[in-house]
C-alpha cells in the first residue's frame, strides 16, 4: 500500500515537471519570436538611418547649391543696379532733347506729354510745323494763357496716351498763331492741356501738367511738375506750388522712383485729417518743426517712440499725397533715413482749414543727388532760397559743411593732396562758421557751386511700407474730443497767465470777504485788506527792518491843504453828478450811505488822513508774502 502511494506521488511529480517544461518551452519560443522581431526592427532602423544620412547629404548639397545660386543672383543684381544707374544718368542727359526745334542758345524744354503702357494708337495733335529758326508771336494778354507750337521730330506721329483731363468726344482743334520775328521762342510757355484733344477711337493718354507761371515771370528753363502723374493721385485738388519749390522733369522723377513700389492698402482707408495742434495736445511733441516725436507711453499701437515727419506739399510737389503713394523729398538732412519707419502726414488741400492727412508708415532711401544741369534749370527763387539757407544755417551740420567746403574752395585751401587734411580743414571751418569766424562767402558763390556740381541737394525716395490702422483709429477717436482739448488748454494757459499778471496774488471770488477800510472802531484792519493778528505776527516776524519814523508834514504841504478842503472838493473834481457816497458812523460802527443831493459836511467822521508809515509797510509785506 505504501509502495503504491509512493509510486503515485512520483507520477504526479513527473507530470508537474512535464507541465513546467512545456510552459518553459512556450515561453522560450515566445522569447525567440520577440528576439526575431526586435532584430528585424533593428535592421529597419539601420536602413532608415542610412536613408536619413543619404537624405541629409543630399539636402546639404542642395543647400550649398542654392547658396551658390543666391550668390550668383546677388552679383547679377548688383550688376543690373550699376547698369540701371548708368541708364538713369544717360536718360537724364539725353532723354528729352529736341535740338532741331529751337536755336542752340535756348535751353532744352521738357516735353508736355508722357508715354504710358497701353495699346498702340495714332493720336496726332493738329499743330502747325515750324522751321527750327521760326518764331511765334505770343497771344494777346487778355487771353487766359499762352500757347507754344512745337514741330514734330519726325513725319510719323508718336503713339500717345490720353489724359484723364482730355475730352475724347470733341474733335481736335488746330492752332493758328501768326508768326512774328519780334518774339523769341524761349519766351513762350508749353501748350496748355485744354488746347489738345484726341480722336475718339484712340487710347488714353496722360499729359503732364506744366507748372503755373506767374504774370511777368521768366519762362526760360522751366520744367514740368508731374507730381499728379507720378503719384497717381485722383481727385486731388491742384496745389499752388511756391516759387521756391524744386521742380524736376517727368523723366527724372520717374527715374528716381523706379526702384519704389506703391503699397496697395486693402480695404482702402478713409481719409483722416487732423491739425498739428491736436497732435501736440493729444500725443505731445512740437507742432512747429519738420520732425516730431511721440513718446512711447503715448503711442497707441506699440510701446516705442513714434517719429513723425511733416513735409510741406507747397515745397515738395513730388511728395506722397495719398495713403500708400511713393514720392520724393529734396533735402540733404538725413533724419528720415534712419530709425524708420516714419509716420508721414500731408497737407489736406481739399480742406479750407489747415489740416494734415495721415498717409502711413514710410521708409526712406537716398536715391541720388541733384546734378548741376538740374540745378541750372531751376528758377531764380529756388537758387536764391538755397543760397540764403546755407548762409544763415548754423544748426544742421550737413548744410554748415556745405558752406564750409564752398568757402574753402573759394579761398583755394581745398582740395589738397591728402583727404585727411581736407577733412581736418572742413571740420575746423565748420566750427568757425558756427562761431561767426568762417571764411567769407556770398550767396552767389553758393549758387555757382551748385551750378558747377561741386555741391548737390540730396534726393530721397519715400516708400510706404505699412498703414497703422490702430494709430489711424486712435487719431479719429481722439479728434472728436478736440474742442474739449482746446478748452482745457485755454484754461491752463489762462490760469498761468493770471498768476503771472497778478504776481501770485490769490483771486478774490464771489464768496470772498470785501476789503474793509481802517476805522477807529476796528483798529485790527490794516489799510487795504483785513489783517489777521496771528498771520500778521507770523509774516512780520522774519522782517528785521526797523520802521521808518512818521513823516512830518508842513502846514503848507499838499496833504494839509487837501485835508482842509470840503468833502465835495477833496473827493472829486469831476463835472459829473455826484453818486451816492458812504461815511463812517461811530454810533452804528459801520459805513452808511449819504444822499447825493445834499452831501453833509462830515469831514470829522471821515478817514481822510493818509495811512501811517507802519500801515503802508504792513500792507506791502503782506502783499509780498502772499505772492
Q: How far apart are CA 51 and CA 43, in angstroms?
A: 12
Residue 90 confidence (pLDDT) above 60? yes
Q: How far apart are CA 623 and CA 528, in angstroms?
A: 10
pLDDT tens across 441-487, in order? 999 999 999 999 999 999 999 999 999 999 999 999 999 999 999 99
Confidence of residue 515 (pLDDT cuts 50, 70, 90): low
Q: E strands of 97-149, at which residues?
A: 113-114
pLDDT tens across 396-421, in order? 899 999 999 999 999 999 999 999 99
Q: Are strands 306-309 and 342-347 parallel, antiparallel or unpaired?
A: parallel
Q: Which residue has the higher pLDDT, 223 or 320?
A: 320
pLDDT tens across 145-189, in order? 444 444 444 444 444 444 444 444 444 444 444 444 444 434 444
Confidence of residue 590 (pLDDT cuts 50, 70, 90): confident
Quick one: pLDDT at residue 92? 79
Residues with Cβ within 8 Å of residue 591, at least 6 apart in sequence: 517, 582, 583, 584, 585
Q: How far apart are CA 340 and CA 102, in angstroms?
A: 47
Please name the residue that has the C-alpha cell 541733384: 370
Residue 195 confidence (pLDDT) above 90? no
- Note every long-range contact of 274-278, with CB atoms under 8 Å and residues 24 or more positions apart, other chains counting: 274/355, 274/356, 274/358, 274/475, 274/479, 274/482, 275/353, 275/354, 275/355, 275/356, 275/482, 276/310, 276/354, 276/356, 278/478, 278/479, 278/482, 278/485
pLDDT tens across 330-351, in order? 998 899 999 999 999 999 999 9
Cα pseudo-dihedral 523, 528, 529, 532, rounded to 10: -40
- Over range 415-430, report the average pLDDT: 94
Residues with Cβ within 8 Å of residue 445, at least 6 apart in sequence: 406, 407, 410
- Per DSSP, the three-state class of 144 is coil
- Over range 111-132, report the average pLDDT: 44
User: Residue ranges of the alpha helices (H) in 507-612?
Assistant: 533-540, 558-564, 567-571
Domains of the chain: which residue ranges?
A: 21-94, 101-137+146-212
Quick one: pLDDT at residue 589? 66
Average pLDDT in the chain: 71
Q: What is the percent of the chain with per-residue pLDDT over 90, rounded to a whole number?
A: 46
Please name the residue that has the C-alpha cell 497707441: 300
**What global pTM score does this model have?**
0.46
Peptide bond into 566 cis (omega under 30): no
Quick one: pLDDT at residue 1? 61
Q: How far apart are CA 71 and CA 78, in angstroms?
A: 11
Residue 626 confidence (pLDDT) above 60? no
Quick one: pLDDT at residue 244? 86
Confidence of residue 133 (pLDDT cuts 50, 70, 90): very low
pLDDT tens across 255-296, in order? 999 989 999 999 999 999 999 999 999 999 999 999 999 999
Amino acid at each position: 500500500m505504501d509502495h503504491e502511494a509512493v509510486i503515485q506521488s512520483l507520477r504526479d511529480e513527473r507530470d508537474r515537471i512535464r507541465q513546467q517544461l512545456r510552459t518553459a518551452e512556450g515561453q522560450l519560443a515566445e522569447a525567440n519570436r520577440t528576439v526575431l522581431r526586435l532584430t528585424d526592427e533593428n535592421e529597419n532602423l539601420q536602413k532608415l538611418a542610412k536613408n536619413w544620412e543619404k537624405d541629409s547629404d543630399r539636402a546639404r548639397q542642395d543647400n550649398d547649391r542654392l547658396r551658390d545660386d543666391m550668390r550668383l543672383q546677388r552679383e547679377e543684381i548688383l550688376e543690373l543696379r550699376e547698369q540701371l544707374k548708368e541708364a538713369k544718368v544717360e536718360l537724364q542727359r539725353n532723354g528729352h532733347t529736341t535740338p532741331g526745334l529751337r536755336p542752340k542758345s535756348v535751353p532744352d524744354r521738357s516735353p508736355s506729354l508722357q508715354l504710358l503702357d497701353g495699346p498702340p494708337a495714332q493720336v496726332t495733335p493738329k499743330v502747325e510745323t515750324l522751321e527750327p529758326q521760326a518764331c511765334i508771336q505770343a497771344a494777346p494778354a487778355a487771353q487766359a494763357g499762352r500757347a507754344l507750337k512745337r514741330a514734330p521730330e519726325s513725319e510719323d506721329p508718336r503713339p500717345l496716351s490720353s489724359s484723364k483731363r482730355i475730352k475724347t468726344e470733341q474733335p481736335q482743334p488746330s492752332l493758328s498763331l501768326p508768326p512774328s520775328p519780334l518774339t523769341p521762342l524761349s519766351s513762350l510757355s508749353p501748350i496748355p492741356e485744354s488746347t489738345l484733344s484726341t480722336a475718339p477711337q484712340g487710347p488714353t493718354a496722360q499729359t503732364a501738367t506744366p507748372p503755373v507761371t506767374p504774370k511777368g515771370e521768366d519762362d526760360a528753363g522751366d520744367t514740368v511738375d508731374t507730381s499728379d502723374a507720378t503719384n497717381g493721385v485722383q481727385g486731388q485738388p491742384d496745389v499752388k506750388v511756391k516759387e521756391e519749390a524744386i521742380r524736376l522733369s517727368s523723366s527724372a522723377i520717374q527715374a528716381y522712383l523706379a526702384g519704389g513700389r506703391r503699397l496697395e492698402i486693402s480695404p482702402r482707408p478713409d481719409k483722416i485729417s487732423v491739425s498739428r495742434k491736436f497732435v501736440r495736445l493729444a500725443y505731445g511733441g512740437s507742432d512747429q518743426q519738420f520732425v516730431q516725436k511721440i513718446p512711447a507711453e503715448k503711442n497707441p499701437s506699440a510701446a516705442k517712440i513714434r517719429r513723425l515727419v511733416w513735409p510741406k506739399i507747397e515745397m515738395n510737389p513730388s511728395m506722397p499725397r495719398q495713403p500708400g503713394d511713393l514720392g520724393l523729398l529734396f533735402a540733404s538732412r538725413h533724419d528720415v533715413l534712419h530709425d524708420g519707419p516714419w509716420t508721414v502726414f500731408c497737407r489736406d488741400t481739399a480742406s479750407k482749414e489747415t489740416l494734415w492727412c495721415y498717409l502711413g508708415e514710410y521708409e526712406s532711401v537716398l536715391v541720388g543727388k541733384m546734378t548741376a544741369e538740374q540745378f541750372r534749370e531751376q528758377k531764380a527763387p529756388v537758387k536764391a532760397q538755397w543760397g540764403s539757407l546755407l548762409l544763415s544755417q548754423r544748426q544742421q551740420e550737413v548744410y554748415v559743411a556745405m558752406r564750409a567746403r564752398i568757402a574753402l574752395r573759394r579761398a583755394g585751401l581745398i582740395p589738397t593732396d591728402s583727404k585727411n587734411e581736407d577733412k581736418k580743414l572742413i571740420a575746423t571751418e565748420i566750427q568757425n562758421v558756427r562761431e561767426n569766424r568762417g571764411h567769407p562767402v556770398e550767396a552767389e558763390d553758393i549758387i555757382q557751386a551748385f551750378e558747377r556740381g561741386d555741391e548737390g541737394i540730396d534726393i530721397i525716395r519715400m516708400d510706404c511700407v505699412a498703414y497703422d490702422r490702430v494709430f489711424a483709429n486712435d487719431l479719429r477717436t481722439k479728434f472728436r474730443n478736440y474742442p474739449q482739448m482746446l478748452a482745457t488748454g485755454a484754461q491752463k494757459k489762462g490760469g498761468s497767465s493770471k498768476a503771472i499778471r497778478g504776481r501770485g496774488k490769490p483771486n478774490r471770488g464771489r464768496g470772498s470777504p470785501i476789503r474793509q477800510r481802517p476805522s477807529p472802531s476796528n483798529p485790527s484792519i490794516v489799510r487795504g485788506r483785513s489783517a489777521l493778528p496771528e498771520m500778521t505776527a507770523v509774516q512780520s516776524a522774519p522782517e528785521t527792518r526797523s520802521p521808518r519814523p512818521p513823516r512830518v508834514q508842513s502846514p503848507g504841504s499838499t496833504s494839509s491843504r487837501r485835508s482842509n478842503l470840503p468833502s465835495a472838493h477833496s473827493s472829486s473834481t469831476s463835472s459829473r453828478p455826484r453818486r451816492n457816497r458812504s461815511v463812517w458812523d461811530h454810533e452804528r460802527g459801520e459805513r452808511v450811505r449819504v444822499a447825493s443831493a445834499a452831501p453833509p459836511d462830515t469831514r470829522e467822521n471821515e478817514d481822510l488822513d493818509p495811512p501811517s508809515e507802519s500801515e503802508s509797510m504792513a500792507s506791502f509785506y503782506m502783499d509780498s508774502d502772499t505772492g
